[in-house]
Structure 1
Amino acid sequence: MFSRLIIIISIILVSYSCDFISPKKMALRNTVLLDTVIDYNDVDVYPLFLDCNNCDSSEKQNLCFEMELIRRLQKIMGEEILEGSLKSRDTLNVEVLVDTNGKISIVEINKPESLEANFSEIDSLLFDSFAALPNTVQPSLKRGIPVNSKFTLPIVITPSR
């Protein structure tokens, strides 16, 4: 009688223990669920020049980065005179990439037709100017990981007088 009881208890334990080691339940126990959705179009920290580290909010850091980039490009370009005829102000848009190593480069230059026809050397001037920028940029961060960031920089071309 005692042996039958042990056999019955053993069968019950074996049949229920299979549920404890089933692959589905093991997978659920080992799964980590994130409570947030990752927005791949936004970053936690914008790219930074070392001069912008003291800004307290991300909006101020972004503005500081943009202003510092413009200041450095103006310093590199100086008062560069482009040969061509321009009757009014015109704007070109430069798509800029800051990679995970902090290198700033041009992805694409979007020019209106008036600039395309009259200023063929503007592309090389822009590429040379961006190549001369120092590599002292902290890349964008998303959850503490360096990520590429791309933005558009409008450049206004004014006619010489």
Structure 2
Amino acid sequence: MLKKFLYLILVPFFISSCSYFQNQTNKKNTIHEVDTLVDFTSVDAFPLFPNCTEIPSREKQQICFQMEMSQHIYASLKKHQLNALELVNDTVLVKLKVNAEGKTTLSNVEISEDTKNKFPQFDSILRVSISHIPILKPAIKRDMPVTTQFVLPIILKN
């Protein structure tokens, strides 16, 4: 009788314990590794002006973006008369930011003191010019729109 009682208690225990271990191994197999290393220095797609979206190549899209941005800022600067009595030969580094909504803002302007004295209104003209840039398609990283920052050199010569 005692043997039957032990069998009734031990057999269900062994059966349930075997299925317990089987479920544990299945759970381990279903866990997926997540790639946590993200390169924050590059994007999958650059911010784009509306007429650059049809270009299939990533490199050509970047070139199109740079050309459109340069043309827009140079056209805006041409509207203003930047006259200097002295010789000017300088490069101004303009740091621009395109946020995740596609709005372009001016982050910083690196300009020499000499050029700043010759063109004191240059910063404000540049800010107005950048505020008139149309809304862009933002940069994409892992299928999500992200904020990007880049430097645009502006060469001033007379």
Q: Corresponding residue for 2:74?
A: 74
Q: Structure 2 CA distance, aligned partners of 1:50 and 1:37?
A: 31
SS at match of 2:45: coil
Q: Corresponding residue for 1:41?
A: 41
Moved more, 148-157 or 107-116: 107-116
Displacement of 1:17 in angstroms is: 5.9
Q: CA RMSD in A?
A: 2.5
Alpha carbons 2:96, 2:108 under 8 Å: kept: yes
TM-score by length of 2: 0.84
Alpha carbons 1:97, 1:104 under 8 Å: kept: yes
Q: Structure 1: where are the runs of 5+ without partners?
A: none
Q: Structure 1 CA distance, aligned partners of 2:42 and 2:57?
A: 15
Q: Structure 2 CA distance, aligned partners of 1:117 and 1:30?
A: 66
Q: Corresponding residue for 1:61?
A: 61
Alpha carbons 1:104, 1:133 under 8 Å: kept: yes
Q: Structure 2 CA distance, aligned partners of 1:158 and 1:27?
A: 68
Q: Corresponding residue for 1:149?
A: 148
The amino acid that maps onto 1:9 is V
Q: Structure 1 CA distance, aligned partners of 2:27 and 2:150?
A: 41
Q: Percent identity?
A: 28
Alpha carbons 2:88, 2:115 under 8 Å: kept: no
Q: Structure 1 CA distance, aligned partners of 2:129 and 2:27?
A: 54
The amino acid that maps onto 2:68 is E
Q: Structure 1 CA distance, aligned partners of 2:104 and 2:6?
A: 78
TM-score by length of 1: 0.82
Moved more, 72-81 or 148-157: 72-81
Moved more, 87-96 or 8-17: 8-17
Q: Corresponding residue for 2:130?
A: 130
Displacement of 1:102 in angstroms is: 0.7
The amino acid that maps onto 1:124 is S
Q: How many residues align?
A: 156
Deviations 1:77-105 (CA, angstroms, capped at 9, x unpaired)? 32422254442310010000011111111
Q: Corresponding residue for 1:5?
A: 7
Q: Structure 2 CA distance, aligned partners of 1:66 and 1:86?
A: 30
The amino acid that maps onto 1:5 is Y
Displacement of 1:56 in angstroms is: 1.9
Displacement of 1:7 in angstroms is: 1.1
* CA 76–10 in structure 1, closer or farther in 2 if over 3 Å, else same: same
